[in-house]
Amino acid sequence: MKKTSTRLADGRELIYYDLRDDTVRDAVDRRPLERTVTTSEVRRDVLLGDSVAIASHRQGRTYHPPADQCPLCPTTGDRLSEIPDSSYDVVVFENRFPSLAGDSGRCEVVCFTSDHDASFAALTEEQAALVLDAWTDRTSELSHLPSVEQVFCFENRGEEIGVTLGHPHGQIYAYPFTTPRTALMLRSLAAHKEATGGENLFDSVLERELAGERVVLEGEHWAAFVPYSAHWPYEVHLYPKRRVPDLLGLDEAARTEFPKVYLELLRRFDRIFDERDGGKEGAGESPTPYIAAWHQAPFGTLEEFEGVSRDDFALHLELFTIRRTSGKLKFLAGSESGMSVFINDVPPERAAERLREVAS
């Protein structure tokens, strides 16, 4: 991997990640952009104990542009985009419309490929490995920023999820606090460790799932399963079998196997509702909308979670879709949105069985 850092016309950082070490990246951003001005502010909710990012400048962000005006495609001739070069392998740049900025953290965009009509599932294993390298490098770099406590790499896919740019891409949020979901995991981790005399909760969950009926696929170094209490209709958790706190902790064997396992998982998601591949749910569906979310240990102090260290946390990816059956979405209505109590219409055991049925 070759890494080349440059600056866009408005001062934002852009980084090329290339497969070839001899690739030269010297294209200049020719757009007449002024310096980016953001209004991001993090406000604490004293009743719930969580935080909300107020970012009014995002109202003006790019919204469903036609393919020939996509800002994530390479620059060609007089058609200028966020990427100055005429081609790229993987690119990461500071978001022009960030939810978090300055003392409130940082937001970045990750372009998986220059091919506008592709998807992550369509990448080669070599390309997927390069994305993993980019995620890992950005996790390392962002963790050293004084305002950053937790790094979150994720992909939103599909208009149903709320994606406004069709180009295959993900994002990285660098939060100035430990996120509420991670805090819940850490509290459960601490309570289990105390109750069992030192047993690790993540290890116990993985061991239980591997011995059960909800395993979707398993490699030598990775395991994917539908969790016992899945919140979403089709939800899969992907764990490295050797517990590490973050992407930086993955050894070479796990990094090598990841692309094959993850690409197969994404391709199965695309076949869940496709009758042409042996499915029973329906044909003619658009590609399955999903969210893929990496959970990593915070880089800040964990003093409030007594007895727990970063090494107790288990890196894992949670992949889920909001589509519950052909032509129907799972909406977060009264119970979910009002009380944070999920109601899942698809039994996790059936979801796992379905994901095994559509194996390639």
Among candidates 232, 346, 325, which has minimal Cα distance to 281? Answer: 325
The DSSP secondary structure of 276-302, one letter per residue, reads GGT-SS-SSPPSPPEEEEEE---SS--
| DSSP single-letter state for residue 190 | H
Q: What is the pLDDT of residue 40?
A: 86
Supply the pTM of this predicted model: 0.95
- pLDDT tens sequence for the chain (360 residues): 999 999 999 999 999 999 999 999 999 999 999 887 787 899 999 999 999 999 988 876 777 888 889 999 999 999 999 999 999 999 999 999 999 998 999 999 999 999 999 999 999 999 999 999 999 999 999 999 999 999 999 999 999 999 999 999 999 999 999 999 999 999 999 999 999 999 999 999 999 999 999 999 999 999 999 999 999 999 999 999 999 999 999 999 999 999 999 999 999 999 999 754 444 444 456 799 999 999 999 998 898 999 999 999 999 999 999 999 999 999 999 999 999 999 999 999 999 999 999 997
Q: How far apart are CA 301 and CA 299, in angstroms?
A: 7
Task: Write down the catalytic residue from 169, 192, 221, 237.
Answer: 169
Length of the chain: 360
Q: How far apart are CA 255 and CA 135, in angstroms?
A: 12
Residues 6+ apart with CB under 8 A from 19: 1, 2, 89, 126, 127, 130
Q: How many distinct helices (H) and strands (E) make up the chain? A: 6, 15
Q: How far apart are CA 22 and CA 19, in angstroms?
A: 9
Among candidates 295, 337, 285, 286, which has minimal Cα distance to 315? Answer: 295
Q: What is the pLDDT of residue 9?
A: 96
What CA–CA distances, in Å, run from 316 to 57, 95, 260? 32, 25, 16
Rounded to 10 degrees, what is the CA torsion of 108, 114, 116, 119? -80
Give the number of other CB atoms < 10 A from CB of residue 27.
17
Among candidates 161, 23, 40, 167, which has minimal Cα distance to 93? Answer: 167
Active site residue 64: no
What CA–CA distances, in Å, run from 293 to 174, 216, 236? 13, 18, 11
Give the number of other CB atoms < 10 A from CB of residue 39.
10
Q: What is the pLDDT of residue 282?
A: 46
Q: What is the pLDDT of residue 56?
A: 84
